[in-house]
Structure 1
């Protein structure tokens, strides 16, 4: 199944442990006691659509009214003080200068003439007990047309060890596979899968944006320094090579990245108070990544060139130097393109953040129901059309069938008809 998960700059945490919730907190949050919730005698049999519609409408109406009050408070009391916050960058603040004429100028002067290129990727995973296949594809697009697509397939073969002793082979297999989650299940302990599924794709997206287009502006999906590249799934070579590419991208300066999900409710709170064509600059990329950078660890020693401008650094020093010297040049803000769409988090170099915000907003007004850059949407659709669907599954299933194995190595969910 294709991996079309939303992009955020926060690391995925499938193994995280939830904070313990008390019964009192449960009742405060949900308006009913935990005991009543667990009493199935108080549940409704079947589906009572009339009462459910009424309750949903009531809950939404109350929530929207409350948020409307909060938005007015944020505009009046918070926006004027964003720039005064301790540690805020000089550019921090509320911006409402964009006009429809500005949007039209960006459309004709940058977007529609191919001055902005966007790259997005997708991963298809076919996971069976005998063989795991990762198909990674990226597509580069501009409004002047598709500028290319690239793909690779990684074949994970846990049992391909030539050992003369079958007992030794089986014990090695059990030990290795015992570290992995079930079929088609994410597992952060499995560094190789994370490396194959997320880090390689993100690396390819950035590399294509840098080296395969002459467009003046580069539009990316997610964060310009995603966790999976800085961490490298614990692989020092992956982290160092990724940081080299990310450093080049940020040195290019004329870029803007937009995330599908904010990864931080505080940013959404700022964004909900915005009106169309407005944006706020809140902090820097350094602020966003320092929370997880200190927890990154690496296994083994690097085998690639680990010199940063002639100075040899350890993998951990590479990450810290990127955080302190490079990520600090990237501003983080929130914009709104449409009155009926959610706000979006964007990243831009501090030298060109105003034009970057204008590019993101101008592209997003083309999708007023979503308020999200249409060029990213086009890149995503291009990837789905070329590398999505069930093409990988059909190829692998056919190969198993020719071997007389049918679908016996897969999972029940995986083998359901589409």
Structure 2
């Protein structure tokens, strides 16, 4: 998956002007920058910009609702049952009473924190599974990347090789940790969240975050072992589990989210299967021949079984993208909506937030860094290998 710092949306001066309403040269002109912090002027500008943007969105929302929503049933990628539906209060109340509050729904969320120095890199992965009956468990893994691993038979030659190796790594990824750290924080965590959801929980229904067929799993993040394990695990999730719903909290698929803003409270839309999404991955990722064959078979068989949709739990909250098995999509979205209306101002499943808070409490950065610093102090009282200063982001 592309790094979030690599913004592919802006591709030239013309795009900058269209996006920000001024040329890049104007933005770089320090004579146009404000001196100091004038809160009154800042708030006036914010009110003008936000108010103008919201009024334009309201006009767009009315047009989308009237003209485009009715076309979802006949779109080029419309799956069986595509269109707009309404979940009634009675249906959502039945989900509360019969599933959520009886502990028949559990959610999984994960967290990754890292510590990186010249001597050692440590990544802690934590996953929490929760339901309204209480926590179903926490799971953790810690990875230690030691760069100096060999016996120094030729100290001069090997020291020189390590200096060159570290410099090359730094130049290839100046804004990120290296690919192994990205694998740990993205690929392995994403895999573990879905594997625990599919294989370790007992509840009839499970809630996850993001796209169940995540990009880093369908590609293996460049690692065949992760690719093989991911495709097997996801096949089990779709074939055997089926009763799942995944919800995203990011501004992904902004075009679809624009459709979602035209929904009213309690409405949901079924958009399309993940067939085109899977094909885009196959066409854009560099697999070896065997990996491409495995990924292609998976995409062909399983992507048509997972549908993407939108729901809106409240007019006071943003729309949410969801993913579910095509055979259970209507009940799946009711599970997500019923959990989301518990906090109508958020419109997001509360169980996912509870799982996130559990991860923060058990596997949070403060506790992790405290343990690391204590261990460094015991191993090296001078702390020369501990980088305690947080870098600017």
Normalised to the residue count of structure 2, the TM-score between the two structures is: 0.92
1:124 aligns with 2:113: yes
1:193 matches 2:181? yes
Offset at 1:332?
0.1
The answer for the alignment partner of 2:389 in structure 1 is 413
Match of 1:101 in 2: 90
| 1:92 and 2:82 matched | yes
Counterpart residue number, 1:310: none
**1:31 correspondence with 2:7:** no
Deviations 1:110-132 (A, max 9, x none): 11101111111111101111100
Answer 1 or 2: which has greater helix percent: 2
Q: Counterpart in 2 of 1:41?
A: 31
> Residue 227 of structure 1 aligns with which residue?
215
Task: Kindly report the root-mean-square deviation, in angstroms, between the aligned alpha carbons of the 2 structures.
Answer: 2.3
Question: What is the rounded CA distance, in whole Å, between the counterparts of 1:30 and 1:234 in structure 2?
Answer: 36
Query: 1:31 and 1:192, CA in 2 relative to 1: closer, same or farther beyond 3 A?
Result: closer
Q: 1:297 to 1:59 in 2, by over 3 A?
A: same
User: How far is 1:407 from its partner?
Assistant: 4.1
Q: How do 1:18-417 and structure 2 match up within 5 A? A: 19-22=10-13, 24-96=14-86, 98-181=87-170, 185-187=175-177, 190-251=178-239, 252-298=241-287, 314-404=290-380, 406-411=382-387, 413-414=389-390
**Secondary structure at 1:334's aligned position in 2?**
strand
Q: How far did residue 406 of structure 1 move? A: 4.0
Q: Is the 8 A contact 1:137 1:152 kept in 2?
A: yes
Tell whether the 8 Å contact from 1:346 to 1:357 is kept in structure 2 after alignment: yes
Between stretches 40-49 and 125-134, larger displacement belongs to 40-49
Instruction: Go from structure 1 to structure 2 and tell me whether the alpha carbon gap of 1:157 and 1:265 turns closer, same or farther (over 3 Å shift).
Output: same
* Unmatched runs of 5 consecutive residues or more in structure 2: none
8 Å contact kept, 1:348–1:356 = yes
Deviates more, 1:389-398 or 1:33-42: 33-42
Deviation at 1:99, TM superposition (A): 1.1
2:7 & 2:34 partners in 1: Cα distance? 33
Q: Give the aligned length.
A: 390
Q: CA, structure 1 residues 15+162, in 2 after alignment: closer, same or farther (shift >3 Å)?
A: farther
Once residues 184 and 39 of structure 1 are traced to their aligned partners in structure 2, the CA distance between those partners, rounded to angstroms, is 27
Contact residue 285 and residue 347 of structure 1 kept, 8 A: no
Checking the alignment, whether the CA contact within 8 Å between 1:191 and 1:234 is kept in structure 2 is no
- Residues in 1 aligned to 2:130 and 2:174: alpha-carbon distance in whole angstroms: 30
Contact 2:69 2:84 in 1 (8 A): yes
Report the secondary structure of 1:348's partner residue: strand
Determine if contact 2:219/2:281 at 8 Å carries over to the other structure.
no
Inter-CA distance 131–211: structure 2 relative to 1 (3 Å threshold): same
**What are the superposed Cα offsets for residues 218-245 of structure 1, whole Å, 9 maximum, x if unpaired?**
1111111111212222111110111111
| Alpha-carbon separation, structure 2, partners of 1:154 and 1:369 | 38
* Aligned partner of residue 390 in structure 1, secondary structure: helix
Q: Quickly say closer, same or farther: Cα 1:64–1:159, change in 2 above 3 A.
A: same
Unaligned runs of 5+ in 1: 1-9, 300-312
Specify whether residues 246 and 11 from structure 1 end up closer, same or farther in structure 2 by C-alpha distance, changes over 3 A only: farther
Offset of residue 17 of structure 1: 5.6
SS in 2 for 1:218: strand
Q: CA deviation at 1:328?
A: 1.1
Whole-Å Cα distance in 2 between the matches of residues 99 and 248 of structure 1?
Answer: 32
Equivalent-residue separation in structure 2 for 1:26 and 1:200 (angstroms) = 36
TM-score by length of 1: 0.87
Deviations along 1:178-226, one digit per CA (max 9) or x if unpaired, are 3434899525xx4322222221112211221122222111111111111
Quick check: 13-22 or 254-263, which moved more? 13-22
